[in-house]
Chain A
Amino acid sequence: MRSALRSLLQSPKRLSGTLRIARWELTRSAGGFDRRAIAFTIVALGLAGGAVAAGIASGPGDVALDRNVYRVGVDADSPYHEVVAGSATLAARPPSVDALETGEVDVVVGDGEIVADDSEKGRAALTAFRGATRAYNDRLMRAEEDGVAAFPVAVTLSYEDRTLDRDLSAGGGGSEIGGASGADTDADNGDQVSSSDDTSEDGTDERSAGGTGGLPAVGAGGVSGTDSGSPADIAPPFPFESLVLAFAFLVPMNFVVQLYGSSMLGERTNRRGELLLVAPVRPIEIVAGKTLPYFLGTAIVTALIALAVGGGVVSVAAVVPIGLCFLAATFLASMLARSFTELTFVTVAASVFLTSYVFVPAVFADIAPIALISPLTLVVRDLASESVSLGEYAFSTGPFYLSGLVLFVLGTGIYREEDLFTQRAVPLKFLDALCARLTRRRSVALLSALSIPFVFVAELLSIAVLFALPMEYSVPVLLLVIAGVEELGKSIHIYAGFTGGRFDSGTRTALVLGVLSGIGFFVGEKATLLAQAVGLPELALGRAAFVPSGVGGIELVALALAPLALHCVTALISALGASRSKRGYLLAYLVAIGVHAGYNFTVVNAVV
């Protein structure tokens, strides 16, 4: 593979072949969009635009998915009627206690008393009602002439790093917007507090424009820095930004990927791709040429979106690997799928997994170093004009580059006549793809090591999914799942090699392959840990959670050898099974999971 890549890059002739295919692919794609399709799209968009216009014309123009989900029984002349009318979430109904019992309303405003239904929904409705009343009060007070009486409290909120030296951090905290900064004296000398505050107060009161009741408005809530204003304006750091970003970047990517998948699978129907195969170009050039336009398309779309949300080069560089991985997954899917329907399912699955993978940790973008496993964290930081180190970039995009490359390598392996135009079930095709990469026994170790990024992703997602379970169930289940994922990563290609007739099915061969696989996996795992330790020393916390078998593995040689022995032994067990039969492999795989999970339990119990 490496030599193929090198020759591709070095030889201008090969490169020109790739470029020619890319150009051809581009013109062919554009040709598909005829006038009818474009007209239909315009009509659909026009209808949507009409619906939006109708929605805006008929009511409050904002998108309120939770419109009128709670009903409040309130009299038309009650002061609370205004509150309910002003809130999108609440709907006003005639008040009666009967209505509460029959479930017609969730909250009733009676004489001097507010009663909620005794259910989860009733409590949620009451909380929403409380929030709406608060917002109503704020609106009411904003209309008051006496700004000081309406908003008697002004808050300056500052975030301070406690690990810093005291003087330094006190200086970094709190300087009020529009006023002289008196924070240093605040902290250091209590006597001067009132005088230093006076200056800032004068500054604020004179500038009565903007913000609540003459107070400066609190900014949109970045984590570090200073916010100030009425208590109502304090915004706790909230991670919705990442959710919006995840969708903004990944939804348009879906379109490019759809086109790409159609084109790749289209080659396989009616032996259309045969012409390209017999041309004097290598499969890797065909794949590279056909992928290039879509990759550039992804990059351009990403750049445009980054421009729109205000991101810079870092944002683009962070998101492009996601696109690469997405394209790679689609490429392999289109090599494995039997029909367009199947391709659609596989693509949707890839899209969902990728979106959630990049989204989960980005929820914690502000708080934990673990958030860095998502490239979106880099985007969030870029938008906040924070710097991103090269190590951090490599850490968060590395798995994407690597898994993208591995998927392309696997797919290109079966870009040949006997696989392109045959119909086999997806799992069998997948085994073929693995088998195509097993040229000699050493390849087993390499494939084991290359499975690390996928194992990592699968483990992370299972943590996310199992999070909802109670702790006493989630930890054992998690350990089992981790064992299962790692054992699969170590043994599936061995099984592929045996079924594909790549190795003779002797016990000796199985033993050798098992040990090789174990070593490969161990080396890959330790290389990842080492890279993390060098690039991100603060990540020590996450390490234990994600690779339990590597707990404390770096410090002592004896401890380092234990995981190595474990990986070899379990890989050996499944290799022995794989050399027999499918059933033998399944049984051995289960035994290997058992051994691995048992080891993990022991380690976790010893450590905790």
Chain B
Amino acid sequence: MSDARFTIAKRELSGLRKEKTILLALAIQLFIAAFSSFLVVGLVSLYDPGSVEGYSVDVAVAGEAADDLLAVAARQDGLDPTRYSGPRAAYASFQSGRSDAVLVANRRPSGRIGVQATVPDENVRTTLVVVQLREALRAYERAEREEMAGRLNGMALELPPEQRSNPYYDFTYTVLVPLLLFLPVFISGSITVDSITEELDRGTLTLLRVAPVSFARILEGKLLAAALLAPAQVFLWIALLSVNGTRIANVPALLVLVGAFSLLMTAVGVAVSLLAPDRRVAQPVYSVCALAFIGGTATLAHGPVNTVARLAIDSAGPETTTAVAAYGLFAIGIYAATRWLIERTDAAAL
């Protein structure tokens, strides 16, 4: 490592600091984080009735098979079934607002039970009511199925016990955390493209050629500055998430992974801007590369997003470690290829 590269890298970073744009980047991420927790909290309260204190769904039950249904429904938390003499009375209570939903259960000639469920078409409650009804009806289906078990070849497995949990627990780790980790990486690559194409455009690189620094060193310095930026930002993020109560496991491995991706994307950024020195071309091409990288690897068993999720949620195994190492090697390979490209490029021709 020569000093020239670090000098260039320092100059790049101080440029960012002076423009104060890095503050904007942090603000964006803070916004995303706060916003996502809005979504998570909002969605949880929408779909998990338990999170709404003291709320239970009043259901009017009627029909000839109502008694069985009532027995099952009464066992469920958050559901308050009431027996009505007939469908007419049940609908009347629904219309007057005394009940949130109506279930009319009748046995059909085929032996199947037809349930006519009616829910209000009005507001947030609808989703809540439907979720609760589905739970009750599935329990009812299981009970009825058991009664007819003799007619079945196989047996349904008993369900694992139910425990109240955050239904968006894995959303935090599989969507939010990867989003927060990859955004700095992509922005790093984008900065590299900007920085190089701008110098080429303004012609300031030509001035540097009289300095005792080679063109390759300059580019490597720029690459280094951008590649270091992302892991630093990610470290801040992880600290912030931990303070906020979201535990992130395997922090060193995550930082290595982010460092590898950051090296990869900045190397791609350098390569793109050498191949297409016009920013109007380089930026879209780089964006396509970034999108292709994430979209293309999404189906892989150990894709980048999935690897981050497994590390962060603490479900990593030996195969995850192998994946991290493989990504590291891949990034170094791309970096080496980019260096080869840099050496081959004639600065004067750009």
Contacts and interface: CB of A to CB of B under 8 A. Distances in A.
A464 B40 CA distance: 11
B174 A126 contact: no
A352 B32 contact: yes
Nearest to B299: A55
B35 A65 contact: no
Contacts of B289: 41, 44
Contacts of B15: 339, 341
Contacts of B32: 352, 356
B137 A67 contact: no
Name the residue in B21, B63, B64, B187 with the highest tally of chain A Cβ atoms < 10 Å from its Cβ. Answer: B21
A392 interface: no
A342 interface: yes
Contacts of A156: 114-117
A602 interface: no
A33 to B, nearest CB: 6
B118 interface: yes
Given A41-B285, A44-B288, A186-B116, A465 B35 contact: yes
Contact of B157 (A80, A126, A201): A80
Contacts of A124: 165-167, 169-170
B50 to A, nearest CB: 12
A12 interface: no
Contacts of A201: 108-110, 112, 114
B209 interface: no
Contacts of B328: none
A58 interface: yes
Contacts of A49: 296
B120 A83 contact: no
Interface in A140-183: 140-141, 143-146, 148-163, 166, 169-170, 173-174, 183
A29 interface: yes
Interface residues of B, number: 129
Interface in B205-253: none
B57 to A, nearest CB: 13
Contact of B116 (A130, A145, A174): A174
Contacts of A64: 306
Give the interface residue-count category, chain A: 35 or more
A468 B42 CA distance: 8
Contacts of A67: 301, 306
B108 to A, nearest CB: 4
A193 interface: yes
A348 B51 CA distance: 35
Nearest to B47: A236
Contact of B111 (A47, A50, A106, A148): A148
A68 interface: yes
Contacts of B301: 55, 58-59, 67
Nearest to B30: A465
Given A128-B170, A205-B110, A341 B19 contact: yes
B314 interface: yes
Nearest to A51: B296
Interface in A40-63: 40-41, 44-45, 47-52, 54-56, 58-59, 61-63
Interface string B80-117: 00000011100100110100000010101111111111
Contact of B106 (A114, A151, A197, A339): A197
A258 interface: yes
A68 B145 CA distance: 31
B248 to A, nearest CB: 12
B298 interface: yes
B284 A259 contact: yes
Nearest to A185: B87
B173 interface: yes
Contacts of B7: none
Which secondary structure characterizes the binding site on chain A?
Answer: helix
B134 A126 contact: no
A280 interface: no
Contacts of A68: 306, 310, 315
Interface in B14-29: 15-16, 19-22, 24-25, 27-28
Interface string B256-296: 00000000000000011001101111111101110111011
Interface stretch (A226-234, A372-380, A567-575): A226-234
Interface string A59-83: 1011111111111000000011001
A54 B173 CA distance: 25
Contact of A258 (B110, B117, B287, B313): B287
B6 interface: no
B203 A162 contact: no
A116 B309 contact: no
A343 B156 CA distance: 59
A464 B39 CA distance: 8
A506 interface: no
Nearest to A57: B299
B67 interface: no
Given A68-B310, A158-B117, A339-B198, A237 B157 contact: no
A36 B27 CA distance: 37
Contacts of B2: none
A263 B278 CA distance: 10
B116 A36 contact: no
B37 interface: yes
A471 B271 CA distance: 50
Contacts of B120: 159-162
B157 A259 contact: no
A505 interface: no
Contacts of A32: 276, 278, 280-281
Nearest to A156: B116
Contact of A341 (B28, B47, B195, B201): B195
B141 interface: yes
Contacts of A80: 157
A244 interface: no
B190 interface: yes
Interface string A192-206: 011001101100010
B309 A65 contact: yes
B191 A344 contact: yes
B56 interface: no
Contacts of B167: 124, 127
Contacts of A33: 281
Contacts of B148: 146, 148-149, 152
Nearest to A215: B112
A291 to B, nearest CB: 15
B159 interface: yes
Given A127-B165, A236-B134, A339-B194, A62 B152 contact: no
Nearest to A261: B283
A24 interface: no
14 contacts: A45-B288, A51-B300, A58-B300, A59-B299, A65-B306, A70-B315, A114-B160, A127-B165, A133-B160, A148-B148, A162-B121, A262-B280, A340-B279, A352-B32
Given A41-B288, A174-B118, A205-B110, 9 more contacts: A34-B281, A36-B276, A52-B295, A69-B174, A121-B314, A148-B111, A154-B115, A234-B133, A349-B24
Interface of A: 29, 32-34, 36-37, 40-41, 44-45, 47-52, 54-56, 58-59, 61-71, 79-80, 83, 89, 91, 103, 106-107, 114, 116, 120-121, 123-124, 126-130, 133-134, 136-137, 140-141, 143-146, 148-163, 166, 169-170, 173-174, 183, 186-190, 193-194, 197-198, 200-201, 205, 223-224, 230-232, 234, 236-238, 251, 254-255, 258-259, 262-263, 266, 269-270, 338-346, 348-349, 352-353, 356, 360, 363-364, 366-368, 425, 461, 464-468
Top 4 A-B pairs, shortest CB-CB distance: A55-B299, A48-B296, A48-B292, A231-B137
